[in-house]
């Protein structure tokens, strides 16, 4: 559906060149919500702008439905662009037009009849939950409402791809969740493929099926969100994950633990089906040891459970070792201290 094949983008500023995107290859399948995460300056926006040819690659190719978009004629490019909706962090609404006027704009440009525009705008307002705001102007709206208008406008020409550049970065956490729910509805109900970029792991965790991590213009890691979250390969990825899920208590708590209780702490990671089973209690009971949960959480990720617990064991040394050996065969375990 969308494929980047060895794509690079170099900006030349006088004698200086900026390698904004470097040799990126990624495939986004139809119907997916694909997130690209990275710190500021990683090259995310540039990569996104290559999809609708707001930027042209200096190397490699971008394919949409197997068409190399850099090879399209001006006319075919216009047609292709109407198939790609885009939303932005700062909404990019026309302040002189009301909500209906903003949503109608792309339809006017595309030459729709007045009655068709009216019908489509009403339908879109309903879809994004803004029917009662049709006559309001952007300055009268909250951030979340403005982004709903942005989404309605992006959907006006019935695209099959929606690209989102930090669409929730200007919103508070509650409003972010509302907008993410709406994006999920766009994906699930309308079957629209979503490619989004963000610097917030919470966005990836909440709605994405797949994720790619970008750093210095390169994709350093990518895969199913569940796999990347539960088994990150790169330090930058770990940093993003830690922003939504602390896997260890603070140094001072660990130090206190050492002073007051001593003994070893183990990190136990449960994934998928195992998270629903009483693995810890079954194994410890069998070997006559007790476990103590010191820290941790069980979360839902892509409709699967993912548990990350810090435990200690109490009992005879030989029994503890037997329990540990058995647990190691059932769940991911790591000695922490």
Ligand X SMILES: Nc1ncnc2c1ncn2[C@@H]1O[C@H](COP(=O)(O)OP(=O)(O)O)[C@@H](O)[C@H]1O
Residues engaged in binding ligand X (CB under 6 A)? 11, 13, 18, 20, 38, 40-46
Residue 11 contacts which entry, Mg ion, ligand X, none (Cβ below 5-8 A, type-dependent):
ligand X
- 222 in Cβ contact with 228 (< 8 Å): yes
Taking the complex as a whole, the smallest distance from the CB of residue 62 to ligand X amounts, in Å, to 15
Q: What is the smallest separation between the CB atom of 86 and Mg ion, expressed in angstroms?
A: 13
Closer by beta carbon to Mg ion, 20 or else 327: 20
Rounded to a whole number of angstroms, the minimum distance from the CB of residue 305 to Mg ion is 33
Partner that binds at residue 320, options Mg ion, ligand X, none, CB closer than 5 to 8 Å by kind: none
Q: 214 or 311: whose CB is closer to Mg ion?
A: 214
State the binding partner of 18 from ligand X, Mg ion, none, CB within 5 to 8 A by kind.
ligand X
191 binds, among ligand X, Mg ion, none (CB under 5 to 8 A by kind): none
Least gap, CB of 200 to ligand X (angstroms): 13
- Nearer of residues 38 and 101 to Mg ion, judged by Cβ: 38
Considering CB distances under 5 to 8 angstroms, the limit depending on partner class, which of Mg ion, ligand X, none binds residue 43?
A: ligand X
Nearer to ligand X, 11 or 94 (CB): 11
41 binds, among ligand X, Mg ion, none (CB under 5 to 8 A by kind): ligand X
CB of 185 to Mg ion, least distance (A): 25
Cβ nearer to ligand X, comparing 18 with 279 = 18
Binding residues vs Mg ion (CB under 5 A): 45
Q: Kindly report the three-state secondary structure assignment for every residue of the chain.
A: CEEEEEEEEEEEECCEEEEEEEEEEEEECCCCEEEEECCCCCCHHHHHHHHCCCCCCCEEEEEECCEEHHHCCHHHHHHHHCCEEEEECCCCCCCCCCHHHHHHHHHHHCCCCHHHHHHHHHHHHHHHCCHHHCCCCHHHCCHHHHHHHHHHHHHCCCCCEEEEECCCCCCCHHHHHHHHHHHHHHHHHHCCEEEEEECCHHHHHHHCCEEEEEECCEEEEEEEHHHHHHCCCCHHHHHHHHHHCCCCCCHHHHHHHHHHCCCCCEEEEEEHHHHHCCHHHHHHHHCCCEEEEEEEEEEEECCEEEEEEEEEEECCHHHHHHHHHHHHHHCEEEECC
Cβ of residue 146: shortest distance to ligand X, in angstroms? 21
Nearest-CB residue to Mg ion?
45
Which residue, 157 or 169, has its beta carbon nearer to Mg ion?
Answer: 169
């Amino acid at each position: 559906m969308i494929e980047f094949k060895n794509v690079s983008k170099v900006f030349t500023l006088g004698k200086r060149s900026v390698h904004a995107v470097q040799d990126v290859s990624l495939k986004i399948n139809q119907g997916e919500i694909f997130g690209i995460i990275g710190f500021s300056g990683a090259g995310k926006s540039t990569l996104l702008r290559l999809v609708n040819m707001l930027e042209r690659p200096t190397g490699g190719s971008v394919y949409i439905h197997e068409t190399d978009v850099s090879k399209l004629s001006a006319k075919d490019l216009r047609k292709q662009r109407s198939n790609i909706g885009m939303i932005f962090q700062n909404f990019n609404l026309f302040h002189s037009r009301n909500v209906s006027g903003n949503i109608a704009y792309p339809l006017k440009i595309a030459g729709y009849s007045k009655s068709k525009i009216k019908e489509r705008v009403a339908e879109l307002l309903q879809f994004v939950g803004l029917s009662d705001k049709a006559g309001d102007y952007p300055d009268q709206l909250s951030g979340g409402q403005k982004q709903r208008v942005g989404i309605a406008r992006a959907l006006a020409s019935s695209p099959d791809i929606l690209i989102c550049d930090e669409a929730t970065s200007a919103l508070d956490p509650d409003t972010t969740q509302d907008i993410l729910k709406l994006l999920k509805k766009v994906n699930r109900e309308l079957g629209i493929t979503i490619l989004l970029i963000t610097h917030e792991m919470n966005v990836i965790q909440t709605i994405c099926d797949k994720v790619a991590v970008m750093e210095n213009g390169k994709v350093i890691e990518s895969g199913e969100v569940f796999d990347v979250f539960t088994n990150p390969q790169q330090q930058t990825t770990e940093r993003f994950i830690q922003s939504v899920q602390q896997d260890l208590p603070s140094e001072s708590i660990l130090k206190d633990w050492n002073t007051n209780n001593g003994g070893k702490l183990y990190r136990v990671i449960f994934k998928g089906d195992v998270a629903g089973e009483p693995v810890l209690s079954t194994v410890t009971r069998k070997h006559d040891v007790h476990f103590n949960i010191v820290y941790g959480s069980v979360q839902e990720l892509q409709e699967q459970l993912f548990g990350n617990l810090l435990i200690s064991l109490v009992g005879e040394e030989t029994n503890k070792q037997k329990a540990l050996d058995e647990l190691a065969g059932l769940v991911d375990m790591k000695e922490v201290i």
